[in-house]
Amino acid sequence: MSKLRVAVLGAKGRIGSEAARSVEGADDMELVAALDKDDSLEALTEAGAQVAVDLTHPDSVMGNLEFCVGHGIHGVVGTTGWTDERFGKLRTWLEASPGTGVLVAPNFSIGAVLTMRFARQAARFFESAEVVELHHPNKADAPSGTATRTAQLIAAARAEAGCPAQPDATTSALDGARGADVDGIPVHAVRLRGLLAHQEVLFGDTGETLTIRHDSLHHSSFMPGILLGVRRVTGTPGLTVGLEHFMDLD
Ligand SMILES: NC(=O)C1=CN([C@@H]2O[C@H](COP(=O)(O)OP(=O)(O)OC[C@H]3O[C@@H](n4cnc5c(N)ncnc54)[C@H](OP(=O)(O)O)[C@@H]3O)[C@@H](O)[C@H]2O)C=CC1
Ligand SMILES: O=C(O)C1=N[C@H](C(=O)O)C[C@H](O)C1
C-alpha cells in the first residue's frame, strides 16, 4: 500500500521537530515537506502533500489552513489560539472544498484527552470547578488551548444538567487574581521554567474535592495522537474538533 504523504509546518519548533521525526519513523507515512517560518507553502503542492500537520503559531495557522484547504490538503492542527470566528472561517473554506478534512486538537496527548473527558463527566456532580494549567514560559498564549476547551466542556455539561452558577463571594480582587473567566469557569495560567504542559481540574462540594491532574513530561506524549490524527483525517471530511472523535471512546 502506498504511504501517506505528510508535511509538517513549524518543523523547526519544539513540537514540530518531534512530529517531523515521528512521521519519518512511521512505516505508513512519508515526510514529504518540513517547512518553517518564511518557507513557501507552494512546497506543499510541489511535494504532493496529502496531509499537513500545523504546529506553528496562532498568528500563522489561519493563513496556512486557507492555503491547505484551498488545495485539498487535509489538516491536522495542534496550533492554539482558536475562537468561534476562526472556526467559522475554517468551516467556510471546508464547505468550498468538499472531501477535505481538518482535525483541530487542543491536545494530542491521550492523557489530556481523557482528562477533558473525565472533567466533563464529573462537572455536574460538584458545586465548584476551576482549572489550573501550568506550562513552560516560552508559550505564546494563555490560557492554554487545552484549559480553555476543558473549561468549555465543564460549563456545557453543567448548563445541560441545569447547575446554577458556582459560589464566589469575592467582592474585591486584584486584576487576574480569580483567573480568566471561560464560560463561568475560572482558569488560571502558570508559566514556569522547568515545566512542559500540565493541567489540574479542581472540583469541590461540601466535605470533598476531586482533582484530575495530567502531566506531559516530554513532547513524545503528543506523537501517538498526531499520528492517529494523520491516519484518520483523510477519511473524515469537514471539521473535527478534538482527538477524542478519533479514539472510539464511546
Ligand atoms: N495540540 C497539542 O497537543 C499541542 C499544541 N501545541 C501548540 O503548537 C504550537 C507550537 O508550539 P511550540 O512547538 O511549543 O512552538 P515553537 O515556537 O517552538 O514552534 C513553532 C514553530 O513554527 C514556526 N512558524 C511560525 N510561523 C510559521 C509559518 N507560517 N509556517 C511555518 N512555520 C512557522 C516558528 O518559527 P519562529 O520561531 O521563527 O516564529 C517555530 O519554529 C503552539 O500553538 C502550541 O500551543 C504544542 C504542543 C502540543
Ligand atoms: O504550548 C504548548 O506547549 C502546549 N500547547 C497546547 C495548549 O495550549 O493546550 C497543548 C499542550 O498543553 C502543550
Task: For ligand 2, say whether the CB of 139 is within 6 Å of any of its atoms.
Answer: yes
Sorted by sequence, the CB contacts under 8 Å of residue 38 that are 6+ apart come out as none
Question: Looking at the predicted complex, does its ipTM rise above 0.95?
Answer: yes
Answer yes or no: is 10 a known binding residue.
yes
What domains lie within the chain, and their CATH numbers? 4-104+220-246 (3.40.50.720), 110-217 (3.30.360.10)
pLDDT tens by residue, 101-138 = 999 999 999 999 999 999 999 999 999 999 999 999 99
CB-ligand 1 contact for 64 (6 Å cutoff)? yes
Q: Which three cell numbers stand for residue 222?
A: 503528543
Give the closest residue (by CA) to ligand 1 atom 23: 10
**Cα 139 to ligand 1 centre (Å):** 9
Percent of the chain, pLDDT > 70? 100
- Our answer to whether residue 214 is catalytic in this structure is no
Tell whether residue 171 is among the known ligand binding residues: no
Indicate if ligand 1 lies below 6 Å from the C-beta of 223: no
Q: Is 11 annotated as a binding residue?
A: yes
Strands 197-205 and 208-216: antiparallel
CB 106 near ligand 2, within 6 Å: yes
User: What separation in Å is there between the alpha carbon of 2 and the centre of ligand 2?
Assistant: 32
| Angle at the Cα of 240 from the Cα atoms of 236 and 243, rounded to 5 degrees | 100
Tell me the pLDDT tens digit for each residue of 189-242: 999 999 999 999 999 999 999 999 999 999 999 999 999 999 999 999 999 999
Q: Name the residue type at position 208.
A: E
Task: Answer yes or no: is pLDDT of 184 > 80.
Answer: yes
107 close to ligand 2 (CB < 6 Angstrom): yes
Q: How far apart are CA 67 and CA 62, in angstroms?
A: 9
Would you give the distance in Å from CA 46 to the centre of its chain? 28
Task: Indicate which atom in ligand 1 lies nearest the CA of residue 13.
Answer: 19
Which atom, in ligand 2's list, is nearest to the CA of 133?
12
For residue 3, say whether it is annotated as part of any ligand binding site: no
All three cell numbers of 149, joined, read 476547551
What pLDDT was estimated at residue 250? 79
Q: Please identify which of the residues 135, 188, 198, 214 carries the catalytic annotation.
A: 135
pLDDT computed for residue 1 by the predictor: 77
Whole-number average pLDDT of the chain: 97
Residue 168 clears pLDDT 90, i.e. is over it: yes
CB under 8 Å to 138, separation ≥6 — which residues? 14
Share of the chain above pLDDT 90, in %: 98
Residue in this structure with the C-alpha cell 492554554, named with its chain if needed? 144
Please work out whether the CB of residue 16 comes within 6 Å of at least one atom of ligand 1: yes
Residue nearest to atom 5 of ligand 2 (CA): 144
